[in-house]
Structures are given as structure tokens and as C-alpha cells.
């Protein structure tokens, strides 16, 4: 539950980092499984890639690119905070990570459709 002690930018950044991390970890086995067909059963992979042309899957892919990007940029922010005695502007950095990720995922979606 979003209690009073959680309603601030860095806590939300934490939640986004955690949810994106879990989502990516759950997605990975499927990602690997499908790609492993490439050599031995390319027709299966093509069947899957054909299915992936549907708009709903494209939109899900947009989400995945966003999650990957925001997890990486958010993680870089955390490591900068930890290793580079850098403390000011954390909220701005967290917001910028979301903005940059939306931008990257947006470019991906525009090229995908």
C-alpha cells in the first residue's frame, strides 16, 4: 500500500526499479527459449516472430524496452550515488531516467510499427 511514508520521488524510483527488474527476470527465460530455436527450428522462430507482429505484442515490446532502459538508467543513478560521492539532484536524475527511457522505447515503437 502507498502509505504516507512512501509518497516521495526516490521511493517511487525504488519501486519502479524493483518492478522492472522482476519483470525483466521473468521475461528472460521466454526470450532465451524462443531464440534457441534459431538454428535447429528456424520455422518455429519465424512462426513466433510472425505472431509478434500483432499490435498488442508490439506494444508489449515497447514496455519491455522501457523497462530495460529504465532499469539500466536507474541502476546507473544508484551506482553513481554509491560510488561517486554524488548526492545532489537525485530526484531530477530519477525523473530523467524515466524520460530518457520513454524516449528510447518511443523510438523503438515508431520503428516497429
Partner 1 sequence: MTLKLYMAQRISALIMAPLVLMHIAVMIYAIQGGLSAAEILGRTQGSILWFAFYGTFVVAVSIHAALGLRTVLSEWAGLRGTALNAVAWAVLALLLILGMQAVYGVTAT
Partner 2 sequence: MPKEQQMSVSVWRGGAAGAYQSFDVKMEDNQTVLDVVAWIQQYADPTLSYRYACRVGMCGSCAMMVNGVPRWTCRTHVKKVLKDGHMEIGPLRNLPVIKDLATDMDSFFNKWVAAEGLHHPTQTRHDPIEAIDPASAARVEANAGIECINCSVCYAACDTVAGNPDYLGPAALQRAWSVYNDSKDSDKQAILDAVSGVGGCHNCHSQGSCAVHCPNELNPMNAIAGLKRETARNFFKRRT
Residue selected from 14, 21, 57, 90 as contacting partner 1 according to rule CB under 8 A: 21
Q: How far apart are CA 75 and CA 80, in angstroms?
A: 9
Q: How far apart are CA 95 and CA 12, in angstroms?
A: 10
Q: Within the chain, how many helices (H) and strands (E) appear?
A: 5, 0
Residue 31 assigned to a binding site? no
Closest C-alpha among 6, 11, 23, 5 to residue 66: 23
Q: In the numeric block, which cell numbers belong to residue 102?
A: 520513454
End-to-end CA distance of the chain: give it in Å, rounded: 37
Q: Which residues contribute to the site for partner 2 (CB under 8 A)?
A: 3-6, 8, 10-11, 14, 17-18, 78, 81-83, 85, 87, 90
User: Which one of partner 2, partner 1, none is in contact with 107 (Cβ closer than 5 to 8 A by kind)?
Assistant: partner 1
Residue 49 sits in the site that holds partner 1 (CB under 8 A): yes
Residue 52 sits in the site that holds partner 1 (CB under 8 A): yes
Contact positions vs partner 1 (CB under 8 A): 18, 21-22, 24-25, 28-29, 31-33, 35-40, 42-43, 45-46, 49, 52-53, 61, 65, 68-69, 72, 75-76, 79, 82, 104, 107-108, 111-112
Amino acid at each position: 500500500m502507498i502509505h504516507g511514508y512512501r509518497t516521495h520521488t526516490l521511493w517511487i524510483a525504488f519501486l519502479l526499479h524493483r518492478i522492472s527488474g522482476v519483470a525483466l527476470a521473468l521475461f528472460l527465460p521466454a526470450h532465451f527459449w524462443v531464440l534457441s530455436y534459431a538454428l535447429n527450428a528456424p520455422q518455429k522462430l519465424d512462426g513466433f516472430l510472425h505472431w509478434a507482429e500483432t499490435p498488442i505484442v508490439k506494444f508489449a515490446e515497447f514496455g519491455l524496452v522501457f523497462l530495460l532502459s529504465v532499469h539500466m538508467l536507474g541502476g546507473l543513478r544508484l551506482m553513481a550515488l554509491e560510488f561517486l560521492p554524488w548526492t545532489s539532484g537525485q530526484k531530477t536524475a530519477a525523473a530523467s531516467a524515466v524520460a530518457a527511457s520513454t524516449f528510447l522505447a518511443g523510438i523503438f515503437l515508431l520503428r516497429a510499427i
